[in-house]
Chains A and B, each alone.
Chain A
Amino acid sequence: MTKDMLIIDNITKRFGGLMANQNVSFSIAEGEIIGLIGPNGAGKSTLFNCISCYYNADGGRILFHGADISKKTPEAICRMGIGRTFQIVRIFKEMTVRENIMIGAFLKHVKLCDATAKAEETADLFGFTEKLDLPAGSLTISDQKRLEVARVFATEPKVLLLDEMMAGLNIQEVRETTDLILKLRDMGITLVLVEHVMEGIMPIANRVIVLDYGEKIAEGTPDEVVNNDKVIQAYFGKKYHAKRRGRTAPLQ
């Protein structure tokens, strides 16, 4: 097993009286695909915001290659090699596809021609070659989501945090997205995915972490997690869980 590159250590985030994250801890090894799941309002996006230092956590530490990054700024996090996307796409709609990716590429490529080359190379990888000169705002939603990943990919991150890449996509697009994620993994990028689309995330995740009401309630392989009592309760409620257990118990 490779060593842990990102360690989430007892992260707590409050919004007034609401505990959005409560003592969440887990670690991520290099080259892994981690699924972060949980019902709506479980604190998944908040945790993303804490890792990318969009919010500063109220307690706990986030270690990246051994250094505590929990008090840094989002731009510093990006420069260290942690990229993220948003649940609701936030591309630069007024700019072209090429310019969008260039903004990301500028982080590592100071010269205009280098950044352009990097942007075009990235566009190839993400299937934007034909659409380089279109205004980003004119793309379809699934293209916009992919463009957001392409843009952050161009910053050459080591870890990518992708927030609900697959939400609202059709089956074909979900399949393309999972292919893309595997391709990114093969290129050496560690991925953390917040996802509601189980058929998208479960086949590709090495491990799945489940949050509910701000706390981590389960962690394990996709198989372990879907059969976990707490997870079933969190998703379907106690009543359904009791019924399901009642029906299946005699068979076991």
Chain B
Amino acid sequence: MEGLFIQTLVSGLLIGFLYALIAVGLTMIFGMMDIVNFAHGDYLMVAMYFSFWCFALFGMDPLYSLPAVTLLLFGLGILTYYLLIKPIINAPMLSQIFVTFGVLIFLRGLATFLWKVDYRMIPQTVLSGNIHLGDVYIGIPQLTAAAGAIICNGLVLWFLKKTRLGMALEAVAEDKEAARLMGINSDRMFALAWGIGIATVGVAGALLTSFYYVFPEVGANFGLIAFVVVALGGFGSVTGAFAAGIIVGLVEVLSGFLIGPQFKFMFVLVLYLGVVFIRPQGLLGKK
């Protein structure tokens, strides 16, 4: 029983890191320009399909195609900004919701049209296998995903706090007009935020593909969890998203373990409601 409990904690922690990685792009884009990207989970789906097809068509392991997936999603993020977001950047919030929601429907529809609703999975990857630590089994794909998520989140944080471009991003996030008068091209910074924000789900998608099914609706669940994570961590807070990802991961597995697996998402959503009622700004959010 005790071993099972520790096992549960470990899996919660591992999935939590991945949740944090999925959420970081969402919170970053929101923090930069107050736009909620409803299609966030569906970019994850696109990344997973790309990973899957790299394997199915070229026999490339998801781990090896990760850089390509990341780069592709980076480009997709930038394209999304210039094509869809830039025209509505000063539009009312409702228009912004419609646009990103439209992207969600479009991407899901496109995936269903092209690849049907089948669940696909890569049977064997270079990461397949388990590590035994006493009574605890840790899946190597999950462990790799968690490690990748920690590294990637760390890189994003380092980039934002310790580089010229990252600080310029933060400046634009705080006051676009003042940043422009410091010679910062705010348009390019917004595009960069979209590029990085979507590239992080690219990393997450590539890591996830080695142990999770790929199907057109896969983004729905992960997207929803990303929203819970961002709300809990505080909209716009990267460190908050990191902490909140872990909390959500633990809540999910613990409620599944203690109460019943069919209730695990219920408790995640109860957590979300609790945050909205008690601390709407989230753990590390402002205002």
Using a CB–CB cutoff of 8 Å, the interface residues on chain A facing chain B are 52, 54, 73-75, 77-79, 83-84, 86, 90-95, 99, 102-104, 106-107, 110-112, 115, 151-152, 155
With beta carbons under 8 angstroms apart, the residue of A74, A93, A99, A151 that contacts B180 is A74
Using a CB–CB cutoff of 8 Å, the interface residues on chain B facing chain A are 162-164, 167-168, 170-171, 174-175, 177-186, 286
With beta carbons under 8 angstroms apart, the residue of B164, B183, B286 that contacts A79 is B183
Given known A-B contacts A52-B181, A75-B180, A75-B185, A106 and B174 have beta carbons under 8 A apart: no
Q: How far is the CA of A166 from the CA of B174 in the complex (A)?
A: 25
Query: Is the CB–CB distance between B182 and A93 below 8 Å?
Result: no
Query: Is the CB–CB distance between B171 and A103 below 8 Å?
Result: yes
With beta carbons under 8 angstroms apart, the residue of A54, A103, A110 that contacts B167 is A103
Query: Is the CB–CB distance between B164 and A115 below 8 Å?
Result: yes
25 pairs, A vs B, C-beta closer than 8 Å:
A73-B185, A74-B177, A74-B181, A75-B180, A75-B181, A75-B184, A78-B180, A78-B181, A83-B181, A84-B181, A91-B178, A92-B174, A92-B175, A94-B174, A95-B170, A99-B167, A103-B171, A103-B182, A104-B182, A106-B164, A106-B167, A107-B183, A112-B162, A112-B164, A152-B182
Query: Is the CB–CB distance between A86 and B178 below 8 Å?
Result: yes
What are the residues of chain A within 8 A of B186 when measuring CB–CB? 75
What are the residues of chain A within 8 A of B179 when measuring CB–CB? 103
Given known A-B contacts A83-B181, A104-B182, A155-B183, A95 and B168 have beta carbons under 8 A apart: no
Query: Is the CB–CB distance between A73 and B180 below 8 Å?
Result: yes
Query: Is the CB–CB distance between B183 and A75 below 8 Å?
Result: yes
What are the residues of chain B within 8 A of A94 when measuring CB–CB? 170, 174, 286
- Closest B residue, CB atoms, query A73: B180
Q: How far is the CA of A186 from the CA of B186 in the complex (A)?
A: 33
What are the residues of chain B within 8 A of A111 when measuring CB–CB? 164
Q: How far is the CA of A102 from the CA of B164 in the complex (A)?
A: 9
What are the residues of chain A within 8 A of B175 when measuring CB–CB? 90, 92
Question: Interface centre among A84, A95, A111, by most B CB within 10 Å?
Answer: A95
Q: How far is the CA of A77 from the CA of B181 in the complex (A)?
A: 8
What are the residues of chain B within 8 A of A151 when measuring CB–CB? 182
What are the residues of chain A within 8 A of B171 when measuring CB–CB? 92, 95, 103
What are the residues of chain B within 8 A of A99 when measuring CB–CB? 167
Q: How far is the CA of A54 from the CA of B176 in the complex (A)?
A: 12
Given known A-B contacts A92-B175, A94-B174, A152 and B181 have beta carbons under 8 A apart: yes
Q: How far is the CA of A115 from the CA of B179 in the complex (A)?
A: 16
Q: How far is the CA of A92 from the CA of B175 in the complex (A)?
A: 7
With beta carbons under 8 angstroms apart, the residue of A77, A92, A112 that contacts B178 is A92
Q: How far is the CA of A78 from the CA of B168 in the complex (A)?
A: 15
B164 to chain A, nearest CB (A): 5
Given known A-B contacts A75-B185, A110-B164, A112-B162, A95 and B174 have beta carbons under 8 A apart: yes
- Closest B residue, CB atoms, query A76: B183
Apart from A75-B182, A92-B170, what are 5 other A-B pairs with CB-CB below 8 Å? A73-B185, A75-B185, A92-B174, A103-B182, A111-B164
Q: How far is the CA of A54 from the CA of B181 in the complex (A)?
A: 9
What are the residues of chain A within 8 A of B185 when measuring CB–CB? 73, 75
Q: How far is the CA of A77 from the CA of B184 in the complex (A)?
A: 11
Q: How far is the CA of A60 from the CA of B163 in the complex (A)?
A: 40
What are the residues of chain A within 8 A of B178 when measuring CB–CB? 86, 90-92
Query: Is the CB–CB distance between A102 and B180 below 8 Å?
Result: no
What are the residues of chain A within 8 A of B168 when measuring CB–CB? 103, 106
What are the residues of chain B within 8 A of A115 when measuring CB–CB? 164
A81 to chain B, nearest CB (A): 10
With beta carbons under 8 angstroms apart, the residue of B164, B167, B177, B184 that contacts A90 is B177
A106 to chain B, nearest CB (A): 5
What are the residues of chain B within 8 A of A75 when measuring CB–CB? 180-186
What are the residues of chain A within 8 A of B162 when measuring CB–CB? 112
What are the residues of chain B within 8 A of A84 when measuring CB–CB? 181
What are the residues of chain B within 8 A of A93 when measuring CB–CB? 174
Query: Is the CB–CB distance between B177 and A155 below 8 Å?
Result: no
A105 to chain B, nearest CB (A): 9
Q: How far is the CA of A56 from the CA of B31 in the complex (A)?
A: 29
What are the residues of chain B within 8 A of A83 when measuring CB–CB? 181
What are the residues of chain A within 8 A of B182 when measuring CB–CB? 75, 78, 103-104, 106-107, 151-152, 155
A134 to chain B, nearest CB (A): 16
- Closest A residue, CB atoms, query B161: A99
- Closest B residue, CB atoms, query A103: B171
With beta carbons under 8 angstroms apart, the residue of B163, B170, B180 that contacts A112 is B163
A55 to chain B, nearest CB (A): 12
- Closest A residue, CB atoms, query B175: A90
B267 to chain A, nearest CB (A): 33
A172 to chain B, nearest CB (A): 27
- Closest A residue, CB atoms, query B185: A75
Q: How far is the CA of A93 from the CA of B286 in the complex (A)?
A: 12
- What 6 A-B pairs come out closest when comparing CB atoms? A78-B183, A90-B178, A74-B180, A107-B183, A92-B174, A79-B183
